[in-house]
Structure 1
Amino acid sequence: MIKFEHILLGLFAQRPWSGYDLKKWLSDGGKFFRSNADQSQIYRLLGRMEDSGWITHTVDAREKRPDAKVYTMTDEGRAELLAWARSPYRPPARLQDPDFLARFYFGGIVDPVGLRSLICTELAARQDQVARYRGRDRAARFLSPVPEVDIPRARLLEELTHIRGMAEIDSWIAWLKEMLVVLDAAGVTTPPAPS
């Protein structure tokens, strides 16, 4: 499971950041990794990360604006980031979990074999879900429902939700397969040798 600290360490691996810039990034492109992170939460976390020795800051004096703390990663932070990024990935039950997306996004710090293994592990887990659950009995069982439940409508909504779920997982599997082709073709990962 991904921790917010690992997302921030992944960002610090790319460049120094101020708390304000982190909040701005998380509100825009980073909202898929972590939603609803307010400024005070970010600053508290930055303080804990600095106390842990993972980051350090300098003060950037600004004219006509408040000074800004600009944070950079330390060697201890780098070690923590690499330990997380290179740790075994265990796919959760939830499709498109932020842990996979963060590991994929920050996959530039993982060796080609590890990156390919990450994608293959996620792909195998989702294909297994399809194999196990696609054909399951979905007949809704309504035993003593509350009077407000409209059973035909509830059954239809359940079926439509299932159809949407199938489309999402099928699309996710197709994307994972495409990523293997794209990354192998680009030489970023290496396909296994034919047996």
Structure 2
Amino acid sequence: MKFDHVLLGLLALHPRSGWDLKQWLAGEGQFVRSNAHPSQIYRLLKRMAEQGWVVYETDPRDGRPDAKVYRLTDAGRAELIREAHAPYEPTSRFQDPDFMARFYFSAQLAPERLLPLIDTELAYRRRQVAVMRPRDRSLSFPEDAPETDVQRLRMIRELTHEYGTSAVDAWLDWLERVRRLLADGTIPTTSPSPTSNEETPR
């Protein structure tokens, strides 16, 4: 998921300034997307305004520079919904933030995509584990590499493998739990009706 769409998803919840976006990314957002430099945020906001995806109003601040507060346009919302429905292709590293960004914003914009998203990730990770876990992990070293401590390297490699195995198993357990919650209706997968009086979460 491109960074543009992460910012659009945040603005779909409520208008924010560039500073507000930066603060979210440095806090809760660090689990959805790696932190970004303010210049990158402002550059993307400028580009999205030029594309007609966002507009801004100037908010006067006492004793501080005025802030531009951005909000989503109809075109921006359409682009965000298009992205929420785009096919998901898992990355080789399950720790990459793309899945979590899609999961977070699909819950907001396209809840019917949550179950297919989980199923795609689960299927990919199960295949990955089936192929990688039984692989031959023996090591061989050239005789002309005296700087290599074979025993230390084998220990480090086993510890790394141990961590990777437990981490991906925990990830699969979490995915399966979320899938059960989606399948039994605990997590709704339909959007509220347009006449709903529920307030947009902030």
Same-fold call, TM cutoff 0.5: yes
Measured after TM superposition, the shift of residue 145 of structure 1 is 6.0
Match of 1:58 in 2: 57
* In 2, Cα distance between equivalents of 1:42 and 1:149: 44
The whole-number CA distance in structure 1 between the counterparts of 2:68 and 2:144 is: 57
- 1:113-132 alignment, distance < 5 Å: 114-132=113-131
Match of 2:29 in 1: 30
Shift, 1:36, TM fit: 3.7
- Report the CA distance between 1:67 and its aligned residue: 1.1
Question: 2:43 — aligned with what?
Answer: 44
- Once the 2 structures are TM-superposed, how far is the Cα of residue 68 of structure 1 from its aligned partner? 0.8
Shift of 1:184: 2.8
Name the residue aligned to 1:12.
Answer: 11
Structure 1: unaligned runs, 5 residues or longer: 191-195
* Residue number in structure 1 paired with 2:109: 109
The separation in 2 between residues aligned to 1:82 and 1:28, in whole angstroms, is 25
The residue correspondences of 1:1-195 to structure 2 (distance < 5 A) are 2-107=1-106, 108-112=108-112, 114-144=113-143, 146-185=145-184, 186-189=186-189
Give the share of equivalent positions with the same residue, in percent: 52
**SS at 1:106's partner residue?**
helix
Structure 2 regions of 5+ residues with no counterpart? 191-202
1:183 offset after TM fit, Å? Answer: 2.5
| 4+ residue segments displaced more than 4 Å | none
Partner deviation per Cα, 1:130-160 (whole Å, 9 max, x = no partner): 1111110000222356432111110111111
Q: Which secondary structure state, in structure 2, belongs to the residue aligned with residue 35 of structure 1?
A: coil
TM-score, structure 2 as length reference: 0.88
- Determine if contact 2:33/2:101 at 8 Å carries over to the other structure: no
Give the whole-Å Cα distance in 2 for the aligned partners of 1:106 and 1:187: 14
Amino acid at match of 1:123: L
Aligned residue identity for 1:80: E
Larger RCO (CA under 8 A, 6+ residues apart): 2
SS at match of 1:137: coil
TM-score (norm 1): 0.91
Q: Could you give the per-residue CA deviations for residues 51-79 of structure 1, whole angstroms, max 9, x where no partner exists?
A: 11111100011222221100001111111
Letter of the 2:15 counterpart: P
Q: RMSD of the alignment, in Å?
A: 1.6
Residue type of the alignment partner of 2:14: R
